[in-house]
């Protein structure tokens, strides 16, 4: 079997499909139920997994009222736990204690990625001794969970993070000014219930932000050195769906076909990142989100074209035979609709999309040139950097941030 390094860049986009197959591991939700109206099945599914659940919702729990009625009809007892904004380590501990007092044996999360991450963290905490800090990476001890988390049913209402099928839960630590992950393969929800109807009321700015997160989570695993044939196919399908659905959903929130396309793209991105990892976009976005009150997806959107450009330059200079160059070229063909596109065309396509979606520069959220070294220092310690196709220097990472904070780039 030939080495990936023997595949020559410039031999055509299809050559990227011929990456040699090596051993890999693949994990996803025990059950994925996708389609319009599927959220109505939550009651029956819950009844098969537990008797008393904690229903984790966002800032407006009224949106979960139809699901709550389904649980009532199925005879499942529940308490409602509300997550406003990004879940902190302290909030997850507090909510887990309330669920423990109520005797919950099942967790259901309905909301965006922050809500679903909180639900997974609560499920892990309920089943394991000690504190969350015992199991958190970077700021904690990073220990493996001693016991499987309680069963989780994840019901996303946005099309972005793919948290319904990921093996980590992201929590904010205000004291450390960073977002960190609780990570374990068993954190993948027992059921992912994906109903595109739930995203119809999403406002344009949130559609843009979450959608750009989904796009990033398809591109980064596609060029990751940890990619495998299964994630490759999932990324190709997801990129194609996102390319033709995101801007449509942004301009017409009631376009169910576009909402369905983005729900599938987000699901695909979650599956891909859970098995192939992420890269420098998320390596930088994590520290930024911990320091500034910035929407994660908007940060990813501003960083994505700059990271793509920096990676392509670095690969050409230091690893010109890397198969990741072919991956960037293939991705450009999928995004632009022109299979003869060069890798740089993909960068410009993403840059143009971000501009059309009205995503502001990072300076709008408080990032200034003086703050770049702190972000770079934290990013270099991020686990996401391990999935980047090339190791970027501190100077290169700083240049990415400098470009992303400028208007008009």
Predicted confidence band at 17 (pLDDT cuts at 50, 70, 90)? low
Q: What pLDDT, on a 0 to 100 scale, did the predictor assign at position 407?
A: 83
Predicted confidence band at 134 (pLDDT cuts at 50, 70, 90)? very high
What is the pLDDT averaged over residues 8-30? 63
Predicted confidence band at 313 (pLDDT cuts at 50, 70, 90)? very high
Is residue 215 within 8 A of residue 250, CB to CB? The reply is no
- pLDDT, tens only, 361-400: 999 998 999 999 999 999 998 889 999 999 999 999 999 9
Q: What pLDDT, on a 0 to 100 scale, did the predictor assign at position 244?
A: 97
What is the pLDDT averaged over residues 260-289? 96
Is residue 287 within 8 A of residue 401, CB to CB? The reply is no
- pLDDT, tens only, 316-332: 999 999 999 999 999 99
The domain 4-25+201-404 is placed in CATH, from the list 1.10.10.10, 1.20.1090.10, 2.60.40.10, 3.10.180.10, at 1.20.1090.10
Q: What pLDDT, on a 0 to 100 scale, did the predictor assign at position 15?
A: 45
| Helix and strand numbers, DSSP H then E, in the chain | 13, 8
**Helix or strand run (H / E) with residue 110:** strand 106-111
What is the C-alpha separation between 387 and 390, in angstroms, rounded?
Answer: 8
Least Cα distance to 169 among 153, 152, 181, 156 occurs for 181
Is residue 330 within 8 A of residue 16, CB to CB? The reply is yes
pLDDT at 8 over 90: no
- pLDDT, tens only, 70-109: 999 999 999 999 998 889 999 999 999 999 999 999 999 9
Q: What pLDDT, on a 0 to 100 scale, did the predictor assign at position 360?
A: 94
Is residue 214 within 8 A of residue 267, CB to CB? The reply is no
Q: Where are the domains positioned within the chain?
A: 4-25+201-404, 38-194
pLDDT at 350 over 50: yes
> Which pair of structure tokens corresponds to residue 271?
């599956």
Residue range 38-194 forms a domain whose CATH class is alpha beta
């Amino acid at each position: 079997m030939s080495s990936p390094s023997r595949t020559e860049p410039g031999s055509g986009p299809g050559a990227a499909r011929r990456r040699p197959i090596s051993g890999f591991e693949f994990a996803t939700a025990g059950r994925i139920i996708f389609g319009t109206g599927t959220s109505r099945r939550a009651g029956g599914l819950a009844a098969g997994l537990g008797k008393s659940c904690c229903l984790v919702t966002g800032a407006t729990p009224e949106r979960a009222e139809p699901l709550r009625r389904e649980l009532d009809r199925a005879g499942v007892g529940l308490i409602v736990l509300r997550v406003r904004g990004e879940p902190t380590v302290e909030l997850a501990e507090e909510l887990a204690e309330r669920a423990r007092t109520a005797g919950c044996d099942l967790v259901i999360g309905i909301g965006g990625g922050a809500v679903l991450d909180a639900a997974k963290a609560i499920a892990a905490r309920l089943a394991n001794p000690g504190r969350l800090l015992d199991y958190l990476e970077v700021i904690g001890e990073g220990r493996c969970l001693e016991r499987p988390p309680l069963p989780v049913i994840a019901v996303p209402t946005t099309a972005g993070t793919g948290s319904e099928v990921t093996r980590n839960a992201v929590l904010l630590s205000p004291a450390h000014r960073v977002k960190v992950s609780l990570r374990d393969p068993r954190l993948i929800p027992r059921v992912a219930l994906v109903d595109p109807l739930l995203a119809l009321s999403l406002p344009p700015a949130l559609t843009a932000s979450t959608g750009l997160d989904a796009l990033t989570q398809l591109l980064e695993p596609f060029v990751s050195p940890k990619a495998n044939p299964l994630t490759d196919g999932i990324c190709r399908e997801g990129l194609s769906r996102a390319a033709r659905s995101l801007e449509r959903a942004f301009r017409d929130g009631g376009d169910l076909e576009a909402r369905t396309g983005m729900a599938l793209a987000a699901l695909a991105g979650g599956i891909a990142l859970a098995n192939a990892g992420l890269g420098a976009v998320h390596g930088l976005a994590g520290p930024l989100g911990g320091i500034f009150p910035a929407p994660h997806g908007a940060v990813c959107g501003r960083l994505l074209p700059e990271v793509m450009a920096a990676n392509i330059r670095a690969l050409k200079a230091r690893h010109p035979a890397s198969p990741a160059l072919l991956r960037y070229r293939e991705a450009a063909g999928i995004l632009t609709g022109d299979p003869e596109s060069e890798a740089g065309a993909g960068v410009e396509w993403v840059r143009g999309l971000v501009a059309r979606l009205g995503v502001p520069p990072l300076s709008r959220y408080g990032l200034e040139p003086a703050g770049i070294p702190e972000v770079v220092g934290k990013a270099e310690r991020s686990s996401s950097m391990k999935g980047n196709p090339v190791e970027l220097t501190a100077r290169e990472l700083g240049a990415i941030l400098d470009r992303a904070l400028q208007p008009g780039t």
